[in-house]
Structures are given as C-alpha cells and as structure tokens.
Structure 1
Amino acid sequence: MNGAAVEVDARGIRDVLERYQENGWTDGLPVVPVSESIVEEFLAATPLDPEEVLFAIPHLNRELTVRYAAINAALAGCRPEYLPVVLAAWKGIAQEPNPRKGIWQSTTGTAPFTVVNGPVRERLDLNSRGNVFGSGHRANATIGRALRLALINVFGLRPHQLDQATQATPAKYTAVIGENQEQSPWPSLHTEYGFAEDDDVVTSFVIRSVMHIEARHTQEAEQLALDFTDSITRTGAFIHEYTNALLVLSPEHAHVFAGAGWDKDRLRRFIFEHAVRTREELARVGKDAISHHARWRLSSAHPDAIADTARGSGTPDRVPALSAPESVQVVVAGANNAGVSAVVEVFGLNPRLRPSSYSPVEYPAG
C-alpha cells in the first residue's frame, strides 16, 4: 500500500467493532463506527425530515425513520451522498405491492434487490457493467448493506430469532445493480413507468434468488428466449400458482433480440406464451394443484388442494407459469463481453398493480 501514513488508534477501533458485534448491530461483517456528527452529515444529504417514517412492519410494531436509515447507512460504510439512493430504495420497498409484511421473516429467505437508473450511477460510481452482481464497487456494496442492517437493527430480523429463513440467499448481504443504459438497445426500465431516461430513479424488488444463465451457444432470438423460458418455468420456481421474474440481460443477449427486431414487449409476450408445464410434469414433483389457503403449489392428493386456473382454460393439460406478460420485467446490466445473463426470482409482480416500485432520488435543492 502506498500513500501517506495516517495515525489512528487501531486498538480502539477494534474495541468499538467488537462492542458493536456484541450488541448484534452487524450483519456478521465489521461495520463503520458512527457518531452523532457523522449522522448529521448524512441527514444533510437529504431534504427529508429525519423523523419521517419510510417503512413499517405493523405486526412487529416497528418503524424505520429517515434518521434510522441514515444511521444504518453510516454503519454500512456508505458515503453521505449515497443516502438519497438508500432512502429511495426504502420508499420503493414500502410501495412494493405484496401486502404481506411477514414476507421479511419468510422461511424462503427474502432479500431486497435494487436497480438504479439515471446519471446518479456515474456520480456515485455505481456499477452497471462488469461483475455487476459481484464485489468491487463501494456504492453497490454499501447501499444494499444499509438496507439489510436496518432490517436487522430496526426490525430485529436476526437469524435464529425473527428472521426465519431456512437457507436464505447471499443477496441478503447486499443486492444493488445499475442498469447499463448506455449499452442497452432498448429504453431503460424506469422509462416504462413515466420517467425520463436521464431521471435518477430507484426500482425496488423483493427477491428469492438470482439464477445464473450461461447461454453462449446461439445467436437466434427464439432459441435464446426459450432458454430463458425454461429457466423461469423450472418446477422449483412453481412455489405459488404463478411465478414472476426479473430478467437481467447482458448487453450481448439484449442485442441478439434487438437485432432480430424484438423489443421488450415482444420478448415478454414470447416468454409468457411459452412458459408452460404439462400437468403430468407437475404431478411428477407433487405440484399439480394449489393450496386453497395459501395458493402454494402442492399435490392434487393433498386435503387442502384445489384446482388451479389452468383447469378452466381450453388446455387443461398445459399449466401456465406466468399470469401475464407483465409478470416478467427486463433490465440490461453487466459487461458486453459474453452471453451471460440472470433470472431474478421476485415476489409481488401483480399485473393488476404496478409491477414494481419506483422512487425518484431526492437531493437537497442547490
């Protein structure tokens, strides 16, 4: 390491970190010590009232305020200028259409997943290209971590306590990406919901997992779309009557579709039309019916089983995985260097509601 030496009380810092760990204020990794003056620096980066409530979980009787979000952003290692993105993500989470707040304690192991659009990506050096799901960029890492730390410290969602995840997902540490607008052949995600291409906007999802798709074998749009469809319709994804997905395309894959004259809507419609499984395939894994109570997929032999909506269609032996084309959202992210994309399994894409939550990023005037 090069550069001027800085004298610090390393032993004192380690003692503080151990104290934070003993109090359960971390996600398992060391956090950044925080003082009141540091919190004030963060609050100066937003026009919002420090006592404004951003998100609440009523059955836990706990609320997240702007001040608490700022404290956890500082703990996470954010810079103060990251705070408006953190707050926008929380506002998006609060709008997410799935009404079951208990989802945050789910045995599935849910995680917040954030997509950032607009010039703010460049201002904060937020990664939207190579290694987009990986390490190396402070903004991506710490903005997502700020959300998790607040879930731990404000809502008490700690493993083996209120967090009931059976195995969970690494995305519970952090999951923030920028959309690669510059290398996308299509309008960006946020423009589909009324924002301008150069608006700073955060999109919030609640997810189960991120599934890697290796598809370097074809330059045919239909073949590529069927490959993604097969991943979306895997039987392990048939948790409820329908499934939902955020398709994160590499620029290379996006340009395969665009080069064939496909826009996002055509891709969504194609996936919707082909995202089916036969009743026999579902019966083989015990998922040919749904629960009357929870709408989870289960065997038709189960006492709580009822027929799914496919039985009322003209093709009762072909069961749709998606309820509408809008059940698939499309984002372009990652480097333009290989045919590698991802399917993010998400909760709450209800076509009758806004399929996701969009929040503008607010900075103080001037």
Structure 2
Amino acid sequence: MSALIDAPQADAAEIRSAMEYYARREWTDGLPVVPVTESYLAEFLASTSSGPDEVLFTMPHLNRRLTVRLAAINAAMAGCLPEYFPVVLAAWEAVAKEPYPKRGIWQSTTGTAPLLIVNGPVRGRIGLNSRGNVFGSGFRANATIGRAIRLTAINAFGLRPHQLDQATQATLGKYSACIAENEEESPWEPLHAEHGFDPSSSSVTAMVFRSCMHIEARHTGRPEQLALDLANSIRRTGSLIHEASSALAVLGPEHAALFGEAGWSKDDVRRFIFDNAVNSRAELAAVGKDALSRHTRWRLPAGHPDAIPDQASASDTPDRVPALKTPSSIEVMVAGANNAGVSTIIETFGMRGDTPSIAQVKDLDV
C-alpha cells in the first residue's frame, strides 16, 4: 500500500481528486479519507520511539503483517491527529494479545469488531469522550482512533466486505468503536487499575465484541432489581452461540452510583449477575439450544446427531443452565452522562474468564 501524496500546496480540487483515487483503490471504509503526505506521515512517526518497520501485529493465516509505518498511514487517513498515534499503537499492542483476531474472528459471519477502552490521563490530553453520547458521534479522538483500526484491517490485511470479511450483517461498530471510561464518576477503581496497571498510567483495553444492548432502568433504587435487568439481558437465548457467553457491563454513572451507595463492589455485581444469568432447560429446548455440538461446542438441539450434553447436565441442578462460565466472564466499567438510568450490555467474544488484553500508552511526550 502506497497511499502517500506530495501536494504541499494542493488546492481543493487536487485534494478531492486524491480522495477519489483512494476510493477507487478501495483504501476506504466507505467514507472519505484524509490524503497523506510524506511530511504529515513523519509527524505520526515522530510521536513514537518505535521504528517504522517494527511489526505490530500479524495474521498468519493470511500471511500478512502490520508495521508501525502502515499503522501510521492508516491512522492519518482515518483523521487522527499525530498526538493520537501512541494510543493507536497501544491499541494494536492490546489487539496483538487477543487470541481471536489471529484465528480469523474479524472475518467471521458473526460480524465481530474490535472495541477499544481507554483509561488514564490521556483521555483528557487528547479529548477522548467518556461521558454523554459516549457510543455516538461528536468527538474526533474517539471516532478516528477506532476508525484507524478498521481502516488498517482493510488495507493491511485485506478484510473487505464480500471478500475476506464474511460478516452476514455485522455491527455498526465496524466503522469505529473507541470509548473512554468515566473514571471521575465511578465508585470503583478504573478498569486498567483493576487488572494491575498504575491508576495514573494511560492504557488501552482491546476486546472483540458482537453487539450492544441498551438497558433502560429508571424505575428502581434497589441494586438487586437493576442487577437482575443486567443478568436477564445477558442470558437471552439469541446471544447463546457457545456453551457460555461473556459480556462487558458499561454502567451509566447513575446506575454505578446506585450500586456504590448500596455498598456493592464490582465483584458483588459480577457475582449477582452470574448467579442469575441462568436459563431453564425448557427455555433452551424451546429454541433448540439445549445441547452442544461434539465438534464445535456450539449450542444445538438435543435430538441432533452431533449433540452431546452440556456441563450443566451433569450438575446437581441440570435444569438450571448458566449463561456464563464464571463471574469473571463479566467485565464492569463506567461510562456515559450522569443524567438518566441508562447502561449498556456489550456481548463480547472469548472473554470467558480470561484476563482482558490491555496495553500501556507510551511515548506521549516524545
């Protein structure tokens, strides 16, 4: 990929011509991209001590790899400012720790996408939104950092729809999915500190997600009722592909405060959700998901020739089937505005008790 132009005095017509050239070469996500000059690329590379040929990420099954230079070109095309680039690099470092993208999950018919969560002082330094409209538009850093990952997936790895990307319907997050945690209005330690990082450091957590589910709960001041709403949202049968699911609970500050004022810790929230995110055997049988495939471990009807019993069948309560493997299958964070009882359940892929993939943001002052 050679997406660079040399047009220091380019007028509007030349810029439009360059944008159309990029589009004809299929170097876009469907939206216009920023033409990149060698001098502008140099500003991105100057923000890191990593060399331009350093390899950030590989997809062995595609025999392709990502270098710092390619990541910088795509970050610039996405509309990032050079000062965002250390966050983009941390995002790729976190993605590289995830096992699933290497196995082709970004190409899946399920339509998964990368989700980035940013913690620490860098949020304020580059203007990342953690409050109102956190999943929406209006903030350049959120929009372009997330978009940089998608453009790179297209241009470095060839993951274009109808070609190597085989998503049946996909998710809107495939354009961009980057949020910051609202640490200031959380009753708990932030996500990165919970997993061993210095709270004063900046970091990026990478997850693979399938969909987001809006939770509207303005009716109660009881933590048990709110947590049951979250549990019922996670256990819904339409999301049960494998034996167990995993989720990220993005609590609005009002809901987080309700739990915090009741003395609930994050572990208390997780434990309650785990204990109550349970389906009956009859509920699963009604939708043909009461057994597992012996080959894929995906859910299917008990009468299927490939069917084997799930783990719950051998327990003391075979008619109660947990939707989650362990309480740690649920991550909890806070984001959004403190103006309504609204939260989001994000269905994640593969975090069934695994430690999330987190990388520290480096070279901010280079």
* TM-score tier (shorter): over 0.9
Q: What's the offset of the Cα at 1:12? A: 1.4
Asked if 1 retains the 8 angstrom alpha-carbon contact of 2:249 and 2:345, the reply is yes
Partner of 2:163: 161
Partner of 1:238: 240
Partner of 1:12: 14
1:284 alignment partner AA? A
Partner of 1:4: none
Aligned to 1:16, the other structure's residue is in SS state helix
CA distance in 2, matches of 1:99, 1:28: 22
CA distance in 1, matches of 2:188, 2:306: 45
Aligned to 1:113, the other structure's residue is in SS state strand
Q: What's the offset of the Cα at 1:98? A: 3.5
1:202 alignment partner AA? V
1:65 alignment partner AA? T
Partner of 1:32: 34
What are the ranges of 5 or more consecutive residues in structure 1 without an aligned counterpart? Answer: 1-6
Partner of 2:61: 59
Partner of 1:76: 78
CA distance in 2, matches of 1:348, 1:363: 30
1:200 alignment partner AA? S
CA distance in 2, matches of 1:97, 1:30: 31
2:278 to 276, 279, 284: 276
CA distance in 2, matches of 1:28, 1:55: 24
Q: What's the offset of the Cα at 1:257? A: 0.5
TM-score by length of 2: 0.96
Q: Percent identity?
A: 64
Q: What's the offset of the Cα at 1:188? A: 0.5
Cα RMSD for the two superposed structures: 1.2
Partner of 2:4: none
Q: What's the offset of the Cα at 1:364? A: 5.8
Partner of 1:90: 92
Asked if 2 retains the 8 angstrom alpha-carbon contact of 1:221 and 1:257, the reply is yes
Asked if 2 retains the 8 angstrom alpha-carbon contact of 1:96 and 1:348, the reply is no
Asked if 1 retains the 8 angstrom alpha-carbon contact of 2:244 and 2:323, the reply is yes
Aligned to 2:36, the other structure's residue is in SS state coil
Aligned to 1:210, the other structure's residue is in SS state strand
Partner of 2:125: 123
Asked if 1 retains the 8 angstrom alpha-carbon contact of 2:59 and 2:102, the reply is no
1:359 alignment partner AA? A
CA distance in 2, matches of 1:93, 1:293: 27
Asked if 2 retains the 8 angstrom alpha-carbon contact of 1:215 and 1:339, the reply is yes
Q: What's the offset of the Cα at 1:312? A: 1.4
- CA deviation map 1:221-276 (0-9, x unaligned): 00000000000000011111100000000000000001111010000011111111
Partner of 1:140: 142
Between stretches 91-100 and 30-39, larger displacement belongs to 91-100
Q: What's the offset of the Cα at 1:350? A: 3.4
Q: What's the offset of the Cα at 1:50? A: 1.4
2:209 to 201, 207, 216: 207
Map of 1:313-324 to 2, 5 A cutoff?
313-324=315-326
Structure 1: 4+ residue segments shifted above 2 A: 97-100
Aligned to 1:344, the other structure's residue is in SS state strand
Partner of 1:3: none
Q: What's the offset of the Cα at 1:100? A: 5.5
Partner of 1:358: 358
Partner of 2:114: 112
Partner of 1:311: 313
Aligned to 1:222, the other structure's residue is in SS state helix
CA distance in 2, matches of 1:129, 1:84: 22
- CA deviation map 1:39-66 (0-9, x unaligned): 1110100111211111111110000111
CA distance in 1, matches of 2:231, 2:275: 10
Aligned residues: 358
What are the ranges of 5 or more consecutive residues in structure 2 without an aligned counterpart? Answer: 1-8
CA distance in 2, matches of 1:162, 1:8: 35
